[in-house]
C-alpha cells in the first residue's frame, strides 16, 4: 500500500510537470506528507526537485520536507539556495535535524548559515554541533520537559498547556533537582491518574534508564529497544540533562546500522549509493574490489608455482572453482552469522573460542559431507583414487579453514575495537580463496606423487 501510494504520487507529479499543470501540482505537493514527498524526490531529476521545492508554500512545509530528505539530495538543493532562505527554513526545524544538516555542509556554507540563523534555538544547534554525529549527543533533541521534584501533577499539566507546546514527544516528564540533575521520570499517563495535588517526587520512578552525551548511538538504540521505552534521557558527566533521544530516531539508527553492516560486508561502501551517480558509485566500489584483485593475483602466482603439477595432471584445474566456491560460501555463512550476532547482541565478544570452535565443528562436518560428494564425482570421472582423495581432502580443509577464518576474523576485529563488518566481507573471502588454492595444490602434488 505505502509503496504504491508513493509511486502513484510520483507518477502524477511527473505527468503534471510535463503538462505544466502547476495549479494541480502545487495543491498535490502541499497536501502530501513530508515523508512521502521525500520519497518522491528520490525518483526525480535535480531540476524537478528544485521545481517541486519552490512549490512548497509555507516555511513549515519546507522544514518538514528538509527533515525527511536524503542527505545527498538535501545538500545538492541547499547548495543552490540563498543562505538567508536556508536559514529561514532551518529556524523551523528541530535542532537535531538542523545541526545534522549544517554539520554535513562545506565549512564556508555552514559558517555563513550559523551566522544567518536568527532564532532562540540557534544556540541549541551550535551546542549540538559539538557532539559527534554517531553519539547520543549528536542525535538527541534538546526539547524535553523537565520539572522540579516538588511540582504537583496539576502544575505539571498546566506547564504542558503553556510552556511546552513545541516538545516533540511529551510522553515522559523528567524530574530534576535544584542543580538540574536528573533524579526521576514520570509518564504523562501518571499525571492524569494521580490526585492533582500530588508532588512528582512521590510517584516518579527513580530507577531511570539514561545515557551519556558521548554514548555510541548503537548502544543508545539497544537500550531504547531492549527496555521498550519511548525516549531515553541524555545526561552529561555531572548527571545534568542535555536532551533526549526518541524512539523514532532509534528506528532510523537501527535501520541505518543494518544497512551499513550489510553494505560493508558486501564491500559496497557504507552509505547507500544507488541514488548517487554512476561515477560516484564506481569510486566507492573500486577500492573494495582491489582487495579481491590482489588476492586473485596472489592465487595466480601460487598456481604458477605448481605449473609442473598442472602440466602432468591438467584435470586438476577443473576442480579449482568448486573448491574455491565451497570455501567461499561457508566462509560467508560463518562471518555473516558472527557479524550479525555481534551486532544484535546474540553473540558476545568474550565467547570467542566457543563460537570459533563451534564454527570449526560445523565446517568439518559439512566439509566431510561435500568432500565425500565431490571426491566421488572426481573418482567417477577420472578413476584415479589419489586424485579423488586429494580433491575430497582439499574440500574438507578448505571448508573447515573457511569456517574458522570466517568466524575468527570478525570476533578478533570486534575485540580490538575495529568494526567487524568492515573487516569481514571481501577480506575474508579473498583470504579463503588464497588458502584454498594453496592447500589444494599442495595436497594434489603430495597425493599424486608429483
Name the CA radius of gyration of the chain, rounded. 29
Min separation Cβ 338 and its own copies, Å: 8
User: Dihedrals φ, ψ of 245, to 5°?
Assistant: -105, 125
Contact track, its own copies, 204-243, x by CB under 8 A:
-------x---x---x--xxxxxxx-x-------------
H or E element that contains 183: strand 182-187
Non-local (6+) Cβ contacts of 386 within 8 A are 447, 448, 449
Q: Does 323 bind its own copies (CB under 8 A)?
A: yes
Q: Which long-range contacts (CB under 8 A, 24 or more apart) does 181-184 make?
A: 181/238, 181/239, 181/240, 181/241, 182/146, 182/208, 182/210, 182/233, 182/235, 182/239, 182/240, 182/241, 183/149, 184/149, 184/208
Residue 443 in the binding site for its own copies (CB under 8 A): no
Minimum distance between the CB of residue 35 and its own copies, rounded to whole angstroms?
Answer: 4
> Which residue is it, cell 580490538?
416
Segment 359 to 398, residues that bind its own copies, using CB under 8 A: 361-362, 365-366, 369-370, 373-374, 377, 381
Nearest residue (CB) to its own copies, 22 versus 205: 205
Q: Which is nearer to its own copies, 116 or 194 (CB)?
A: 194
Residue from 83, 325, 412, 419 in contact with its own copies (CB under 8 A):
325
350: left (phi > 0), else alpha (psi -120 to 50), else beta? alpha
188 touches its own copies by CB under 8 A:
yes
Tell me the closest approach of the beta carbon of residue 208 to its own copies, in angstroms.
13
User: Measured from the CB of residue 105, what is the shortest distance to its own copies in angstroms?
Assistant: 22
The stretch among 49-57, 120-128, 130-138, 159-167 that binds its own copies (CB under 8 A) is 159-167
| DSSP states of 195-246 | -TT-BGGGT-BS----EETTSBHHHHHHHHHHTT-SEEEEE-TTSBEEEEEE
146 is an interface residue for its own copies by CB under 8 A? no
Interaction between residue 346 and its own copies (CB under 8 A)? yes
Of 65, 136, 135, 47, which is closest to residue 101 (Cα–Cα)?
65
What would the x/- binding string for its own copies be over residues 273 to 312, using CB under 8 A?
Answer: xxx--x--xx--xx-xx--xx-xxx-xxx-xx--x--xx-
Shortest CB 184 distance to its own copies, Å: 17
- Site for its own copies contains 336 (CB under 8 A): yes
Q: How far apart are CA 143 and CA 133, in angstroms?
A: 18
Please, which residue, 337 or 390, has the CB nearer to its own copies? 337
- Which window, 51-59, 120-128, 136-144, 269-277, contacts its own copies (CB under 8 A)? 269-277
Interface mask (CB under 8 A) for its own copies, residues 247-266, using x and -?
Answer: xx-xxx-xx--xx-xxx-xx
187, β-bridge pairs: 172
Q: Which helix (H) or strand (E) holds 147?
A: strand 146-148
Residue closer to its own copies by CB (options 223, 448) is 223
Nearer Cβ to its own copies (81/223): 223
Answer whether 448's CB lies under 8 Å from 309's CB.
yes
**Cα gap 200→449, rounded to integer Å:** 85
Asked if residue 152 binds its own copies (CB under 8 A), the reply is no
Amino acid at each position: 500500500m505505502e509503496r504504491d501510494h508513493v509511486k502513484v504520487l510520483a507518477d502524477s507529479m511527473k505527468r503534471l510537470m510535463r503538462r505544466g499543470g502547476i495549479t494541480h501540482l502545487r495543491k498535490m505537493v502541499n497536501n502530501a506528507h513530508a515523508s512521502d514527498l521525500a520519497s518522491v524526490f528520490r525518483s526525480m531529476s535535480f531540476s524537478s526537485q528544485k521545481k517541486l521545492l519552490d512549490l512548497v508554500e509555507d516555511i513549515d512545509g519546507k522544514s518538514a520536507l528538509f527533515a525527511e530528505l536524503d542527505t545527498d539530495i538535501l545538500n545538492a538543493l541547499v547548495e543552490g539556495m540563498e543562505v538567508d532562505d536556508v536559514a529561514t527554513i532551518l529556524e523551523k526545524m528541530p535542532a537535531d535535524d538542523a545541526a545534522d544538516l549544517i554539520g554535513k555542509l562545506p565549512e564556508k556554507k555552514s559558517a555563513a548559515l550559523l551566522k544567518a540563523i536568527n532564532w532562540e534555538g540557534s544556540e541549541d544547534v551550535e551546542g549540538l554541533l559539538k557532539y559527534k554525529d554517531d553519539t547520543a549527543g549528536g542525535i538527541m533533541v534538546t526539547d524535553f520537559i523537565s520539572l522540579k521534584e516538588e511540582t504537583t501533577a496539576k502544575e505539571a499539566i498546566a506547564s504542558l498547556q503553556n510552556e511546552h507546546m513545541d516538545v516533540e514527544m511529551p510522553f515522559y516528564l523528567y524530574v530534576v533537582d535544584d542543580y538540574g540533575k536528573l533524579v526521576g521520570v514520570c509518564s504523562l499517563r501518571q499525571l492524569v491518574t494521580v490526585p492533582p495535588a500530588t508532588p512528582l517526587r512521590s510517584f516518579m520512578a527513580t530507577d531511570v534508564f539514561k545515557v551519556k552525551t558521548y554514548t555510541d548511538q548503537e548502544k543508545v538504540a539497544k537500550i531504547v529497544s531492549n527496555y521498550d521505552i519511548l525516549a531515553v534521557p541524555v545526561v552529561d558527566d555531572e548527571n545534568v540533562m542535555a536532551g533526549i533521544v526518541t524512539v523514532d530516531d532509534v528506528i532510523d539508527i537501527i535501520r541505518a546500522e543494518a544497512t551499513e553492516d550489510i553494505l560493508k560486508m558486501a564491500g559496497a561502501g557504507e552509505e547507500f549509493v544507488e541514488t548517487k551517480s554512476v561515477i560516484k558509485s564506481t569510486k566507492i566500489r573500486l577500492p573494495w574490489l582491489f582487495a579481491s584483485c590482489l588476492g586473485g593475483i596472489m592465487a595466480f602466482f601460487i598456481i604458477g608455482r605448481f605449473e609442473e603439477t598442472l602440466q602432468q595432471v591438467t584435470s586438476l584445474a577443473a576442480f579449482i572453482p568448486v573448491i574455491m566456491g565451497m570455501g567461499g560460501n561457508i566462509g560467508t555463512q560463518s562471518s555473516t552469522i558472527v557479524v550479525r550476532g555481534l551486532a544484535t547482541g546474540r553473540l558476545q565478544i568474550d565467547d570467542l573460542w566457543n563460537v570459533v570452535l563451534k564454527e570449526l565443528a560445523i565446517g568439518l562436518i559439512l566439509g566431510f559431507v561435500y568432500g565425500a560428494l565431490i571426491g566421488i564425482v572426481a573418482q567417477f570421472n577420472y578413476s584415479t583414487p589419489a586424485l579423488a582423495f586429494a580433491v575430497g581432502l582439499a574440500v574438507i580443509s578448505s571448508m573447515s579453514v573457511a569456517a574458522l577464518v570466517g568466524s575468527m576474523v570478525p570476533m578478533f576485529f570486534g575485540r580490538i575495537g575495529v568494526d567487524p563488518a568492515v573487516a569481514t566481507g571481501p577480506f575474508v573471502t579473498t583470504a579463503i580463496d588464497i588458502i584454498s588454492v594453496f592447500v589444494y595444490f599442495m595436497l594434489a602434488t603430495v597425493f599424486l606423487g608429483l
